[in-house]
Homo-oligomer: A and B are copies of this chain.
Amino acid sequence: MKNKIMGSNGRVTIKTVAADAGVSVAAVSKVLRDAYGVSEALRTKVLESIDRLGYRPSTAARGMRGQTYSVGIVMVEMANPFLPEIVAGANDVLATEKYHSMIGVGEAQLKLETALIERMIDTRMDGVLLIAPRLSGEQLARYARQLPMVVIGHHEPQAQAFDTVNSDDQMGGRITVEALVAEGHRRIAMMSLPEKGSTEVDVYRQREIGYVEAMRAAGLGDEIRILRSRERRRLVEADLATALDGPELPSAMFCWSDLHAISLLSGAKSRGIAVPERLAVVGYDNSPVAALSMIGLSSVDQGGRRLGEVAARTLLSRIGGRSAPEHLLLDPVLVRRESF
């Protein structure tokens, strides 16, 4: 067994492969990149050496000059039950193209989000997928000029620098109201987040728009009622209690998220309010908890896995060179359970 040319730390490098196959380093690189200018014979020889030696390219070295075949995912938080499906869907697609994703958790903090995106740029990731980012559209665009970007959970169809892939949140509000109206409900309220500081890129604002439109279309413009709950997890139950104990309990409540809907269910039960007889409840996200038979929450399903798949495909096409923006909306579905 001949002496092998190894990198520092005893690692098999492209030089090891070149020596084993009896070709130049540049030839091995061409084979790895599927670049023009190597014969089939040389290619076969090199691939055999790569196999035999168990060579893996150094991602760090690739980042100096070429592609790393990695994608960053920045998630707003880890505990959100909607996100695993998105990530799984994205990873399915990425894996077919030999890409790996690396996830950073932004904790809904601008500073952290910024630091993560910048670290991904510094690591020379080929692209980034943001899920429910807190950065503004302008800030997103600035980073998108530095690396390919796709955003989920941010509605900005006029954005040029990055793509968006979303569930159609207006439609989610609409189909929920339509279904409740078809059951005879007239007093349909919506539980959302504070209006202050929000814009129409936010998913809950889009859901409100759909709710309002459908109520109007059903001739229920006078019954439009949007209640606002503070976002802090600890404050949600207090705000929901206010809604449940208020003077005019609606016959149905559409909540912008499952978390709120589940808390509402809980509060209603403890007050002896019959669900769905006295109060029908619909959430949003169709999280696994919603499906527990002890919960039985009706909920709008956004098709997280499909979202992830489409977003990853869109990102790969950006990485491949496309610069014309794409803004996609996928149809949500209302999943009915006992709460409605």
Interfacial residues, chain A to chain B (CB-CB below 8 A): 56-64, 68, 70, 72, 77-79, 81, 83-84, 87-88, 91, 100-105, 107, 115-116, 118-119, 122-124, 262, 265-266, 269-270, 288-289, 292-295
Told that A60-B122, A100-B104 touch, could you supply 13 new A-B pairs with CB distance under 8 A? A56-B118, A60-B61, A60-B62, A60-B68, A64-B64, A72-B102, A78-B78, A88-B105, A100-B119, A103-B105, A266-B292, A289-B292, A294-B295
B100 in contact with A116 (CB, 8 Å): yes
Give Cα A265 to B294, complex, Å. Answer: 8
With A104-B103, A105-B103 already in contact, the answer to whether A270 and B293 are too (CB < 8 A) is yes
Chain B contacts for A63, CB-based, 8 A: 58-61, 63
B100 in contact with A102 (CB, 8 Å): no
With A63-B63, A122-B58, A294-B262 already in contact, the answer to whether A101 and B100 are too (CB < 8 A) is no
Give Cα A57 to B124, complex, Å. Answer: 12
Give Cα A249 to B123, complex, Å. Answer: 57
Chain B contacts for A70, CB-based, 8 A: 119, 123
Copies of this protein in the complex: 2
Q: Which of B60, B62, B288 contacts A79 (CB 8 A)?
A: B288
**29 A-B residue pairings within 8 Å (CB atoms):** A57-B122, A58-B63, A58-B122, A58-B124, A59-B63, A59-B122, A59-B123, A60-B61, A61-B63, A61-B64, A63-B63, A70-B123, A77-B84, A78-B83, A78-B84, A79-B288, A87-B105, A100-B115, A101-B104, A101-B105, A102-B102, A103-B103, A123-B123, A262-B294, A265-B294, A266-B293, A270-B293, A292-B295, A294-B295
Chain B contacts for A123, CB-based, 8 A: 59-60, 68, 70, 123
Q: Nearest 3 A-B pairs (CB), nearest first? A: A60-B63, A78-B84, A102-B102
Q: A309 CB to closest chain B CB, in angstroms?
A: 15
Chain B contacts for A262, CB-based, 8 A: 292, 294
Chain B contacts for A101, CB-based, 8 A: 104-105
Chain B contacts for A104, CB-based, 8 A: 100-103
Give Cα A84 to B84, complex, Å. Answer: 12
Chain B contacts for A60, CB-based, 8 A: 60-64, 68, 122-124
Q: Which of B79, B88, B118 contacts A84 (CB 8 A)?
A: B79
A269 in contact with B294 (CB, 8 Å): yes
Q: A235 CB to closest chain B CB, in angstroms?
A: 16
Chain B contacts for A269, CB-based, 8 A: 293-294
Chain B contacts for A57, CB-based, 8 A: 122
Q: A238 CB to closest chain B CB, in angstroms?
A: 14
